[in-house]
A = this chain, B = another copy of it.
Amino acid sequence: MKQITLAHGSGGQAMQQLIGELFMRAFSNPLLDEQEDQARIPLHELTAQGDRLAFSTDSYVIDPLFFPGGDIGKLAVCGTANDVAVSGAIPRWLSCGFILEEGLEMATLERIVTSMANAAAAAGITIVTGDTKVVPRGAADKVFINTAGIGSVPEGVNWGMRQIHAGDVLLVSGTLGDHGATILNLREGLGLEGDLQSDCAVLTPLIQALRGEPGIKALRDATRGGVNAVAHEFAASSGCGIEIQEGSLPVKPAVRGACELLGLDPLNFANEGKLAIVVERQAAERVLALLRAHPLGRNAAIIGEVVEHKGVRLTGLYGVKRTLNLPHSEPLPRIC
């Protein structure tokens, strides 16, 4: 079976061949095909869509590489695209850096690259520049991917945590914890059955449906650390508090089962295709309806509100309010 060797990262013939036969073929587009050391994107394409460049990056180290609902390649496109998209921008261009372990099966890399290419094409994203490094066996675990993404934020769209005020309402765009529970089940061999599948998706279409909408304050995709981590960021940055209604949280039965089994909270579980959104109170029902009208948001729910009193609290099913701390760490390393 063909494997990655140190030569594939050395700047010599083997690397040229890998780039030419795998990456250039899978990702082909006019900007990438120039094969210069940098992509050159006409600025009028950016200024036509907005007045600020949104620029974000994430590295992906997920274990296992393949999981129900996705793989590291799809995740590397969706995750960074979403970090750009939550600004209101349409993510358009990605860079892509691979760190490969010597001995990685070429077939595995091909599968990942094909998945990246498919996810990017489906989202109207082009991968315009990249880099490949190979480290000796044992110096990395199979494959790590970094992507950086760019797009333009439309004039007048100023979503951000500093817009948040007491009285605002917190929504999520769908069921919580699907990604985290799926990876946990797979990694720990829990053997849970049922509808456990990562929600890994590019959220641009759902976010664009909200773009003209007044009353939207801040958007985040609730990845590592889950909705709880986002709620803490919202609270800290706005100087307010967040109160969440436990009974309002949309959670799939299979995910709820995994959480109950392990004594974990779906609020802390990673998502890869869910938004946490703060909106003005009078806009909440309208935004909820907009979200639910879209396939990516059909399980959207209003889950809480922004209050004066600092901190994040959860009101339980019996009305008891308790402080929701940000855990020291999430239960699972290498979740994304």
Chain A residues within CB distance 8 Å of chain B:
5-7, 9-16, 34-44, 46-47, 50-61, 63, 83-84, 86-87, 89, 93, 95-99, 128-131, 133-136, 138-141, 144, 146, 148-150, 152-153, 160-162, 220-221, 223-226, 229, 232-233, 237, 270, 325-330, 332-334
17 pairs, CB–CB < 8 Å, chain A vs chain B = A5-B329, A7-B329, A9-B224, A10-B224, A11-B223, A12-B327, A13-B326, A36-B160, A38-B83, A41-B53, A43-B52, A43-B53, A53-B53, A56-B95, A97-B148, A133-B334, A146-B148
A191–chain B nearest beta-carbon distance, Å: 23
Contact, CB under 8 Å: B150 / A6:
no
Contact among B11, B39, B43 with A225 in the assembled complex (CB-CB below 8 Å): B11
Main secondary structure on A side of the interface with B: mixed
Most buried by B among A133, A138, A160: A133
Output the nearest chain B residue to A39 by Cβ-Cβ distance.
Answer: B55
A99–chain B nearest beta-carbon distance, Å: 5
Output the nearest chain B residue to A89 by Cβ-Cβ distance.
Answer: B38
Chain B residues within 8 Å of A325, by CB? 13
Chain B residues within 8 Å of A334, by CB? 133, 135-136, 139
Contact, CB under 8 Å: A42 / B47:
no
A180–chain B nearest beta-carbon distance, Å: 10
Query: With contacts A329-B6, A333-B10 known, is A52 near B40, CB below 8 A?
Result: yes
Chain B residues within 8 Å of A89, by CB? 38
A207–chain B nearest beta-carbon distance, Å: 12
Give the distance in Å from the alpha carbon of A54 to the alpha carbon of B37 in the complex.
Answer: 9
Chain B residues within 8 Å of A232, by CB? 16
Contact among B36, B50, B96 with A57 in the assembled complex (CB-CB below 8 Å): B96
Output the nearest chain B residue to A325 by Cβ-Cβ distance.
Answer: B13
Contact, CB under 8 Å: A52 / B42:
yes
A237–chain B nearest beta-carbon distance, Å: 7
